Structure 1
Amino acid sequence: MNEGPATALSARQAPPAHGSGERARDPRPYQHYVYAYPHKTAYEELDDAPSLRDVWAGEPRDALALYLHIPFCEVRCGFCNLFTRIGAPDGLTTRYLEALERQALAVREALGDAEPVAFAAAAFGGGTPTFLTAGELERLCDIAEKRAGADLSAVPLSVEASPATATVDRLAVLADRGATRLSLGVQSFVEAEARAAVRPQRRADVEAALGRIRDAGIPVLNIDLIYGIEGQTEESWRHSLRAALAWRPEELYLYPLYVRPKTALGRREPDEAAWDTQRLRLYRHGRDLLLAEGYEQVSMRMFRRPGPPAQGPDDHACQTDGMVGLGCGARSYTSRLHYSFDYAVDMRETRAIVDRYTGTADFSRAHRGFRIGPAGDEPRRRHLLQSLLQAAGLGLAEYRARFGSCPADDFPAELADFATRGWLDGAAADAGLLRLSPEGLAHSDALGPALFSPAVRARMSAYEPR
């Protein structure tokens, strides 16, 4: 669940203006999970459809990230607005892997051999990568290694899974091929809450899957949990947290529930003020419990048990560009262009996009994207967003070295607004940092959208959910 797309911004979500000495009313705390900037709803068709060789020309290639997207799930959760489809009839997974291999070869050819090409991290996401059979997972790893050129045994490899698909044979393949992190989407250990989120699962099946993951010996286990489910209380939330902690996971992600268009819960119309209050209360309860248990807070969502090595860049922390995304739901990043395939949530639309992807013969061009830099305002916004949303904060010297300025000069109104709200740590400047306060971290999903540029806001507002 590490990729939750955002929907269009409305005027009320912009950072409100206020006069000197007057504190504006706080914006709604839950607007967007800003896991990437800009979001794919800001991407547009590229009229020139540049060749990937031109897109990657002059780009650093010595520490790339590699992401392979598998757009299949056995069921679709009620809250999910990721790019995925239910099931894969008539040999669709075979056709998809064949297309993935063609794309990997095209990208590797575009990267060329004039300079060394090396990958520093890899991830399989979705969808549910473990929807694939054990044999298909072997082939997926072969595509990453033999076609894209990543050495999976030498870099952190993160894989997402669901309880039903975390089987012994699949886990054995992943462990053997070098997986260092397995992220399991549990969301709730309370069966009634799972049903309310349209995620039918039995507690016993979840526990059995966790046992298999531990037996497989993959070094880092992450468990995803959701707060804000209808009927959820502090007691039931604490019950899920304690059930997760019993497995001593190296990482825990705590996600607020969102209700998005085109999802099973999309017709729900909650009392927004009451729901915001519930989610903030549950967030603080979960945060405080995990901190008391010795976990470190990495971001609003991510908590890590001290000791295990970091598994590549943390949330929002991919400051340098250079990500190769393979698959119809993946995005790729260079310093000048972010690009991907089409995006949708509606089942018929996603099926059509998957079918078009599997039928594609020529992957040598980028057709949809966002021109981000390297000059101008957007790279600064992206760097500020992705650093400030980390608990560690933004290094002012690093920012100045990259952009020749400081964040307060580039974003005076936004940062003054955050300071007025108590969202910034006033003592961090002494350590050369711009850092959020605990309350600022709690409001990450309001603070992030406040840093979106007018151009990105306009494109996102124009996007029609489908």
Structure 2
Amino acid sequence: MTGTPRPRPYGSYVYAYPHKTAYRPLPEPPELAALWADEPKDALSLYAHVPFCEVRCGFCNLFTRIGAPDGLTTRYLDALDRQAAAVREALGDGAPVRFAAAAFGGGTPTFLTAAELERLCDIAEHRMGADLRAVPLSVETSPATATADRLAVLAARGATRLSIGVQSFVAAEARAAVRPQRRADVEAALGRIRDAGVPVLNIDLIYGIDGQTEESWRYSLDAALAWRPEELYLYPLYVRPLTGLGRSGPAESDREWDERRLRLYRSGRDHLLAEGYEQVSMRMFRRSGAAPEGPDDHACQTDGMVGLGCGARSYTSALHYSFDYAVDMREIRSIVDAYTETRDFSRARVGRRVDGAEARRRHLLQSLLQAEGMDRAGYAERFGTSPWEDFGPELERFAEYGWLDGTAPEGLLRLSAEGLAHSDGLGPELFSPEVRAAMAAYEPK
């Protein structure tokens, strides 16, 4: 074993690389038309961000604000429409432009009224040219906003997947996570989602909540399984700066909390596997035989992402870009207000350049953190090298920890069961020194 200390199992959730805290204002904001000129545009992903929620949960550090003063959602959709028009013009018509997947996230997209959701779909279809009825469309919702009229709009416009954040079916745990909800309201919302007929229901649950035991965790899992969801996401609780829980912190030591979260993860994983679910990643489980009607949790990290809204990222092969980022409520309100007043969306103003070395890291990360692993031949075809040539010391260390699957078929680089369990420790180990430095220098706001 090397002398390098083993990373904690819960470092951070690697849902995008480089992380947005490594983005910076671009000194000479490039024109979108130039950025996209030579990019493949025949299989793009479209993401629309709606930065509104009815409440803010204690664990949440997403870019979202509570409520919306009169007229704000209209002004926001007006700005989204202007941005969509500018982005579609920048994509041009010199090569085929086609969207292969779409997602509405936030925030809570269903914070919008049914009529506003219709308008959001119109922007995606008529401004951007995405055929929502012909591609996977995933939409996030919440118990309070999953109303029949909203769900009917989404079902009619082509939604194939609805994801609802429940987090816990135990009232005391929901309170401990500062998640105001009643069990009856959660069950009623799940019933309305099933009645809407959208093919895939995903339920988000959280483990590691203060006071949560293996018994109460199993209770929440079984309550979710009663709805036969096509997908389940199991998220470890994180306590982050500037969040509700971040002001108090966990009630136990870091080591005790890590051990409890790992114990709960393994218990939940084993229970879902026994119930006929397949593991897709550390977080994602899909019911055996259920067709994937929405993107897996790595799909939004491939090149060719077009993001609309002030919290959305866009990805080209050379630049990842977005708008300013914040967690503090006052800062978020200021950024949302500034977005609604923006007239010129023709340039990328905040982002990070991605060179060949970072592209290699990103490819390895987005592939290795999936249960199916990474095809070495595909990596070699893209980069002309092998992952062991590029990341030998890191992979050797992972092998020493027992995180690589020694029984994987020839040509496949895959995590072991314990490697998947430690995804949130393993992922950050692959960040480049430059990205680490930029993230460390970021001042939370």
1:141 & 1:184 partners in 2: Cα distance? Answer: 19
Q: Report the counterpart of residue 225 of structure 2 in structure 1.
A: 245
**Of 414-423 and 306-315, the range deviating more from structure 2:** 306-315
1:47 and 2:32 aligned: no
**What is the distance in 2 between the residues matched to 1:274 and 1:22?**
24
Could you tell me which amino acid in structure 2 is paired with residue 104 of structure 1?
Answer: A
Is 1:317–1:387's contact at 8 Å kept on the other side of the alignment?
Answer: no
The CA distance in 1 between the partners of 2:390 and 2:277, in whole Å, is 34
Match of 1:432 in 2: 411
Amino acid at match of 1:146: H
Distance 1:220 1:315 in 2: 14
* Per-residue deviation, residues 40-86 of structure 1 (Å, max 9, x unmatched): 10001111100000110100000000000000000000000000000
Q: Is the 8 A contact 1:251 1:302 kept in 2?
A: yes
2:174 equivalent to 1:194: yes
For 2:286, give the aligned amino acid. Answer: R
- Find the residue that maps to 1:303 and give its secondary structure: strand
> Aligned match of 1:326 in 279, 300, 308?
308
SS in 1 for 2:133: coil
d(CA) in 2 for partners of 1:23, 1:457:
21
TM-score (norm 2): 0.98
Tell me which amino acid in the other structure corresponds to 2:44. L
Return closer, same or farther for 1:248/1:32 CA change in 2, 3 Å cut-off: same
TM-score by length of 1: 0.94
Offset of 1:176 from its aligned partner? 0.2
Superposed, 1:201-212 pairs within 5 Å as 201-212=181-192
Q: Distance in 1 between matches of 2:23 and 2:291?
A: 34
Maintained 8 Å contact 1:319/1:383? no
What letter is aligned with 2:165?
A: G
Counterpart residue number, 2:40: 60
Change in 2 beyond 3 A, CA 1:319/1:41: closer
Separation in 2 of the partners of 1:75 and 1:45? 30
| Deviation sequence 1:239-275 (CA, Å, 0-9, x none) | 0000000000000000000000010001223311110
CA distance in 2, matches of 1:316, 1:243: 27
2:146 maps to 1:166: yes
Q: Distance in 1 between matches of 2:133 and 2:293?
A: 13
**Structure 1 stretches lacking a partner, 5+ long:** 1-20
How far apart in 2 are the matches of 1:330 and 1:459? 20
What secondary structure is seen at the aligned counterpart in 1 of 2:245? coil
CA distance in 1 between partners of 2:239 and 2:291 (Å): 34
Q: Tell me the CA shift for residue 330 of structure 1.
A: 0.2
Deviates more, 1:57-66 or 1:301-310: 301-310
Q: Could you list the per-position Cα deviations for residues 376-435 of structure 1 after superposition, in whole angstroms to 9, with x for gaps in the alignment? A: 21000000000000000000000000000110000011000000000000121x331000
Residue type at the aligned position of 2:436? R
- In structure 2, the residue matched to 1:443 is 422
Counterpart position of 1:15: none
Take 1:185 and 1:46, find their aligned partners in 2: how far apart are those partners? 35
How many residue pairs are counted as aligned between the two chains? 443
In the superposition, relative to structure 1, how do residues 357 and 22 fare at CA in structure 2: closer, same or farther (>3 Å)? closer
The one of 244, 247, 265 equivalent to 2:245 is: 265
Q: Given the alignment, which residue of 197, 203, 206 partners 1:223?
A: 203
Alpha-carbon deviation of 1:318?
Answer: 5.1
1:427 alignment partner, SS class: coil
Residue pair 1:163, 1:209 contacting (<8 A) in 2 also: yes
Task: State the match for 2:76 in structure 1.
Answer: 96
CA deviation profile, 1:412-460 (whole Å, cap 9, x unmatched): 11000000000000121x3310000000000000000000000100000
Distance (whole Å) between structure 2 residues aligned to residue 135 and residue 190 of structure 1? 34
Quote how far apart the aligned CAs of 1:310 are: 1.8
Partner of 1:302: 284
Aligned residue type for 2:166:
V
Alignment of 1:10-49 (within 5 A): 21-22=1-2, 24-49=4-29
Q: In structure 2, what is the equivalent of residue 75 of structure 1?
A: 55
SS of the residue 1:124 aligns to: strand
Structure 2 distance, partners of 1:313, 1:167, is 24
Aligned twin of 2:337: 355
Within the candidate set 93, 100, 103, 1:123 is matched to 103
Quick one: distance in 2 between partners of 1:222 and 1:107?
30
Paired residue type of 2:259: T
C-alpha displacement of 1:312: 4.5
Determine the C-alpha separation between the residues in 2 that align with 1:216 and 1:269: 39
Q: Which residue number corresponds to residue 288 of structure 1?
A: 270
- Whether the aligned pair in 2 keeps the contact of 1:131 and 1:165 (CA below 8 Å) is yes
In structure 2, list runs of 5 or more residues that go unmatched: none
Distance 1:432 1:93 in 2: 50
Q: Which one-letter code corresponds to 1:137 in the other structure?
A: L
Asked whether the equivalents of residues 122 and 155 of structure 1 are also in contact (C-alpha less than 8 Å), the reply is yes
Measured after TM superposition, the shift of residue 317 of structure 1 is 4.5
Q: Distance in 2 between matches of 1:156 and 1:310?
A: 9
Percent identity over the alignment is 78
User: What residue number does 1:185 align with?
Assistant: 165
| Shift in alpha-carbon separation, 1:167–1:143, aligned structure 2, 3 A | same
Structure 1 residue 26, shift from structure 2 partner: 2.3
Alignment-derived partner of residue 10 in structure 1: none
1:17 paired residue number: none
Q: Give the aligned partner of residue 399 of structure 1.
A: 379
Deviation of 1:22 after TM superposition, in Å, equals 4.6
Cα RMSD after superposing both structures: 1.0
Structure 1 position 364 matched with structure 2 position 327: no
Say whether the 8 Å CA contact 1:23–1:421 is kept in structure 2: no
**d(CA) in 2 for partners of 1:187 and 1:313?**
21
CA deviation string 1:202-255 (max 9, x = no partner): 001000000000000000000000000000000000000000000000000000
**Structure 1's 325 and 281: CA in aligned 2 closer, same or farther, altered over 3 A?**
same
